[in-house]
Structure 1
Amino acid sequence: MMPSPRTTRATVGNSTSSATTSNGKFEFSSLVNSRTPLSDSPSARLRASESPVRRKDSLTSQQVLPEEDCMKLNPSFLGIAFRSLLAIDLWLSKRFGVCAEEHCSWGSARPLMKLIEVSGHGIPWIAGTLYCLYKSDSLAAQEVVLNLLFALILDLILVGLVKGAVKRRRPTHNRMDMFATFSVDKYSFPSGHATRAAMVSRFLLNHLVLAIPVRVLLMLWAVIVGFSRVMLGRHNITDVAFGFLMGYMQYSLVEYLWLSPSTVPALFSL
């Protein structure tokens, strides 16, 4: 006589329960694990995520750098040279800033350096040029003085444009107590005093008849004005050096755009 299906299922159920009862939770958990796929088990997923292959792949994916970072890690020779020169410039400028504060090594000479600073400022030069233009009684003198005024205004415009484009901050040891500053004067490159000193000295040497001692003093004044900017901590050395070069070239531009009665008759008719 064949056993019924109910009897067979009951027998299997009884054997499973007896196996569970006789062997405890160990047999039951092993039975469950045997029925549960390896990939669906939480412990299996944890072990798979902690496998060496997975860890190696994750580390490799994390170590992949974007192209910009790779370029930064492998700078060019020109980039390294530029950064090195910039670091030397900052270091030397700080070493020569001996009048930046009263407690510095040359702090007692700070008032004299500030007087030299005023002598190279644009406002006294423009005011003096306007006065000379008002007092000039000959057409030749008016032509020279008018072009000097044009050169001073051109210098202010060009220096302001370059400062606004470069936006290099002034040295950290500078104290902002300068005479008659404007918004763009918070930037340091190039030195406006250096450009003005170089341009004015070249202009006067070429258009005024001066004695040799006066010519020497004029050139010394231009050099001292530029060097005082570094001593006061106003500018870095490269700011002054580029300012001298820019002022020298500005005079050539003024000569090219020279204002004369034939080119601008309306100005001279006033």
Structure 2
Amino acid sequence: MEMPGIVTEEKRQVPKMLQKILRYDVQVTKKFVELALKTSPLRSLRNHAKLLEVSCHGIVWLAGWLSFIWLFNNKELYQIQVNMLIALILDIVVIAVIKAFVRRRRPVPMNKLMELGPDKYSFPSGHASRATLIAFILMYQDPVSIIFYPPLFAWVTSVALSRVLLERHYILDVLSGMGIGILEGLIMCLVWFSQSTSSSILASLSDEKRDGGEFHV
């Protein structure tokens, strides 16, 4: 028997305990979305869900960060530029591998006209992991001013909730994505490249020659 949120194309044997967890996740998620749509703040958040989706899209962040590296040649930025780029690539790879292995189907939207998108797998949420990872790095590894903490927390929370409200993910997908984002942040703590190493990496990736720490042609 086919169950929501579980791929059955290849007759994969899913442990009974996991089946129960996934069924419960489906039921709770559907109930949450139904109740959320009756609540003004969450209904309003769903209206902005597409914008939040774009704000944490992997391609948007990767292309945007590469542009940031290209446009802003400042030695004080080298460390965060290099480490954040590595973190973004790590997140994309980790999420892609887990999704390919787990292959949990995305929820079937209550509104059948809603677009599902090209990525048909749901677990874990890449948007939730990426938002959590970015916030983790900006707050703990390369700290921004404390005045930016509330907006970062609000952004991460809004992205996570929007993935459920937009019916792109189940609640378990989002919570797992956030957990993975924290683990990726901890991994980055261990491999965090120094200022000099970051400068060397940028130099090796550039056609320009360095002179006294600055690039010139």
Is 1:116 the counterpart of 2:116? The answer is no
Q: Deviations over 1:13-71 (max 9, x none)?
A: xxxxxxxxxxxxxxxxxxxxxxxxxxxxxxxxxxxxxxxxxxxxxxxxxxxxxxxxxxx
Alignment of 1:227-246 (within 5 A): 227-246=161-180
Q: Deviations over 1:218-266 (max 9, x none)?
A: 0121011111111111101110111010010001122222234337824
Equivalent residue for 1:95, pick from 31, 53, 60: 31
Percent identical residues: 36
Check 1:130–1:83 CA distance in 2 against 1; reply closer, same or farther (3 A cut): same
Equivalences, count? 184
**1:223 alignment partner, SS class:** helix
Check 1:239–1:266 CA distance in 2 against 1; reply closer, same or farther (3 A cut): closer
Check 1:228–1:108 CA distance in 2 against 1; reply closer, same or farther (3 A cut): closer
Check 1:132–1:266 CA distance in 2 against 1; reply closer, same or farther (3 A cut): closer
The Cα of 1:138 is off from its aligned counterpart by 2.4
Counterpart of 2:102 in structure 1 is 166
For 1:132 and 1:228, how far apart are their aligned partners in 2?
27
Higher-Rg member (1/2): 1
The Cα of 1:95 is off from its aligned counterpart by 1.6
Check 1:225–1:257 CA distance in 2 against 1; reply closer, same or farther (3 A cut): same
For 2:54 and 2:201, how far apart are their aligned partners in 1?
33
The Cα of 1:108 is off from its aligned counterpart by 6.7
**1:200 alignment partner, SS class:** helix
Query: More helix by proportion, 1 or 2?
Result: 1
Instruction: Give the root-mean-square deviation of aligned CA atoms.
Output: 2.6
Equivalent residue for 1:134, pick from 66, 70, 76: 70
Is 1:211 the counterpart of 2:146? The answer is yes
Alignment of 1:150-189 (within 5 A): 150-173=86-109, 177=115, 182=118, 185-189=119-123
Check 1:144–1:80 CA distance in 2 against 1; reply closer, same or farther (3 A cut): same
Q: Deviations over 1:62-92 (max 9, x none)?
A: xxxxxxxxxxxxxxxxx65443332221101
For 2:87 and 2:171, how far apart are their aligned partners in 1?
24
Aligned AA for 1:91?
A: Q
For 1:111 and 1:161, how far apart are their aligned partners in 2?
31
Q: Deviations over 1:128-185 (max 9, x none)?
A: 212221233322302211211111111111100000000000112276626xx55xx2
Gaps of 5+ in 1: 1-78
Q: Which has the higher contact order (CA 8 A, sep 6+)?
A: 2
Counterpart of 1:84 in structure 2 is 20
Gaps of 5+ in 2: 1-14, 207-217
The Cα of 1:210 is off from its aligned counterpart by 1.5
Aligned AA for 1:250?
A: E
TM-score (norm 1): 0.61
Counterpart of 2:61 in structure 1 is 125
TM-score (norm 2): 0.74
Is 1:247 the counterpart of 2:185? The answer is no
Aligned AA for 1:265?
A: S
Aligned partners of 2:45 and 2:162 also within 8 Å: no
For 2:146 and 2:45, how far apart are their aligned partners in 1?
30
For 1:96 and 1:247, how far apart are their aligned partners in 2?
23
Aligned partners of 1:192 and 1:243 also within 8 Å: yes
